[in-house]
Amino acid sequence: MLFVFLYMQLKISVLTIYICIALSLSAQPPAILKNYFRNPVDLPMELSANFGELRPDHWHMGLDIRTAQKENQSILAAADGYIASIGIRASSFGRFIIINHPNGLSTLYAHLNDFYPGLEKYVIDEQYRTESWAQELTFTKDQFPVSKGQFIAFSGNTGGSQGPHLHFEIFITETGERLNPLLFNFPLQDITPPALIKLAMYDRSKSVYEQVPVFFTVKNTDSGYIIPKPLVLKTGLDKVSFAIQAYDKTNSKSSQNGIYAAKLFLDDEPQVEFILDSISYEETAYINSQIDYKFRSNGGAYLQHVSRLPGDHGNVYKEIAGSGVIDLTDTLERKIKIEVRDAHDNLSELNFVIQHDDSLPGSPDAYSGIPKFIPNQVNEIKNANFEIYLPEPSLYDTVPRLYYVNNTASSFAVSAAHQVSNTSFPLNSDAYVRIKPSGISSQGTFKDKLVILRTGGRNTVRKAKWEGDWLTAKFGDFGAFQAFTDLTAPQINELGKGDTVNLSPASRIVFTPTDNFGIKSFRAELDSQWIRFTNDKGRNWIYIFDERCPFGIHHLKVTVEDLVGNTTTKEWWFKRYPYTPPKKKAVKKKSSSKKKTTSSKKVPVKKKK
C-alpha cells in the first residue's frame, strides 16, 4: 500500500510539472485535459461572457455561465479535488470557492449564495469566531474533498455581479495564471465567426493619446471583410498602426462577447498577433494598453490595438516579424490583412491596401509645445506645495504633462486642487502624491483627520499619511488632488419609531450608513454579542432573523467608523414575537344585474304636518 501511495504521488507530481511546462509554452492544453472538466452548472451550458472580454481596467478572466436568470441553481465541482479556499467580499467575486485538482490546475466559482451545508456551517462559525462578515479562508486537502459533479454551492448574484450567473475560472495552481476555459472542450457549439465593425488608423510618429484616429467602415462580403471605399487607403503618414472594433458570438442569439485573437499581416507576411489565452491578475490592467483608452473614456466603443504600445510589457502580444507599426517609407501599395479568430477557430479576415502619398497632410498635433510624461522612465512634478511621482512602469505611451492649480475654496479643504493631466490617460501603476497642507500640521489637533480626494471619472479618496510637513497617498489614476479635514461622523438610519421598536412583522434588519468620504467599518451587537450583518454589494448591511435572535425583547447596538476614525454609535430596544398578518376583509361583489324600475318619474315625498 505504501508503494502504491508513493507511486501515485510521484505520478501526480510528474503530471503537474508536465502540465505547467506545456501550458507555459502553448495556450492549448494537452489532450489529457481536453475533457477533464465538466460543466459546473447543472443546466445546459450557455454563456453571457467569455474569457478575454473587454471590461473597465481588466480583461474578463473566466466564463460567465447563465443560470436561467435565477439564483440558487446547483453549482457542481468541475473535477475531483478539494476545496482549497473560500472568500466572502462586498464586491469583486462576492462569495466564491476555489478547488485544487490533482492535475496542477484549480477552478474558481464566484457570485455564489450559500455554500453546501457542511462548508456553510464551518464558514458561519468562523465568522462568529473572528467577528467579521468578510472572510478569506484556506483549507487542507483533507478538510473538504470533493468529487467531480458534487454539489458545492448555490448560484447567486453576490459581489460585483449585475445579474444571476456563475463566474467560472481555470488557472494554474502554482502561478495563478488564468487559462481560457474555452480551450478545454466544454459542451458549447460555436460555428459563428467573429464580427468586425470598424477599423481605426493611428499616426505612430506620435503617441496614440495625442490624436484622434482615422476611422473606416468595414463590410462583410463572400470573400471576407473589406473597406468599401476607397479601394486603396492613401495617407500622408509615415508610420501607421491599426485597431479594430470586433466582437464574437457563440450563436445568433448569444451575447456579444470578446474575440480570442487577431493577427496582422503585411504583404502576406505575419507581423504581430494578440492572443487572449492566458492572463494573470498581475497583468490584467494591460487591457488599458490594448484598447484605445482615451477614445473609450470619452464615450467611444472598445478599439483593440493590433500592435503593442511602448510601455506594454504584458504577455498578450506575440511579435513575429514586427511590432505592428508599419513604416510607409515609399509610395508602394502595401497589402494589409487582419485575421480575427474565436477560441473555436472560427475565422474572419479584413483585407485592404494602403499607400503613402506625399501630397496628403500628416495628422494635427493637438499637444504641440506641451511637456510630456514619457513611458519606461520615472516621471515627476515638483513644486512648493505639490509633488507627484510616476514609477517607471506607469505609462503605456507618451502622455501630455498637463498641470494647473485651482485655488477655489471648498469646505474643510486644507489645500488647493492640483490637476494632473486627465482621466482619459491611463496609469499602469500607482502614482505617489504629496501635498503640503495649509493651516494644519503633523502636530495639530486634527492631524489624524485628513484625507486626499482625487476627482475625475470615478472619484477616489485615501486616508492621508504624514511625511514631515507633507500629506501623502497613492492613486491609480490622473485627476485633481486635494486635501481635506474630515470632522464629520458617519450617519446611520433609524431602526424604527418608539422606545421599543416592534419588528415582529419584519424578516430582516437593514442599515445603509453614509459618510462624506467613505465607510471603513460596521459593527453590530445583539444583546452585547457580535451579530452577523452581511454586506453584499458594499452598501447595505443586512441581518436576516435566525436562531440567534429568538422571540422576545432585545437590545441592538450599531457602530460605524469612517476612513479617519470618526465614529457614530446608535442603540435601540426592539421586540420580536410571532406575527400573523391581519386577514383581509372580504369584499362583497357587486351584482352585475341592474334593478328594474317601473317608472322614471320621481315619487313625491310626503311632508310631515
- Listed as ranges, residues in the chain with pLDDT below 70 are 1-28, 32, 586-609
* Torsion on CA atoms 528, 529, 530, 533, rounded to nearest 10: -90
How many domains is the chain built from? 4
What is the separation of C-alpha 162 from the centre of its chain, rounded to a whole number of angstroms? 11
Query: Any bridge partners for residue 556, and if so which?
Result: 526, 572
Q: Residues 540, 570: one domain? A: yes
Q: Does 162 share its domain with 96?
A: yes
CATH code of the domain in which 509 resides: 2.60.40.1220
The pLDDT, as a whole number, for residue 603 is 43
Both 17 and 145 in one domain: the answer is: yes
Residue 450: count other Cβ atoms within 10 Å of its Cβ: 26
Grid cell for residue 298: 470619452
Residues 304 and 144: their CA atoms lie apart, in Å, by 42
Reading the block at residue 218, the C-alpha cell is 468595414
Pairing of strands 178-179, 278-279: antiparallel
Looking at the fold, whether 446 and 558 belong to one and the same domain comes out as: no
Tell me, yes or no, whether 413 lies in a domain. Answer: yes
Q: What is the pLDDT of residue 27?
A: 56
Domain boundary among 139, 161, 184: 184
Q: For the domain that residue 463 is a member of, what is the CATH number?
A: 2.60.220.30
Could you list the beta-strand ranges (E) of 267-407: 269-275, 278-279, 304-305, 317-319, 326-327, 333-341, 347-356, 372-373, 379-382, 386-390, 399-400, 403-406
Predicted confidence at residue 28, as pLDDT, reads 67
Instruction: Examine the domain organization and report whether 457 and 515 are in the same domain.
Output: no
The x, y and z cell numbers of residue 521, run together, are 467599518
Instruction: Return the H-helix or E-strand segment holding 220.
Output: strand 219-221
Predicted pLDDT of residue 459: 94
* Whether residues 46 and 164 fall in one domain: yes
Q: Which of 184, 214, 239 is the last residue of a domain?
A: 184
Q: How much is the pLDDT for 591?
A: 57
Same domain membership, residue 341 and residue 395: no
Domain of residue 553: give its range.
500-576
| Same domain membership, residue 527 and residue 554 | yes
What is the pTM for the complete model shown? 0.89
Residues 513, 471 within the same domain: no
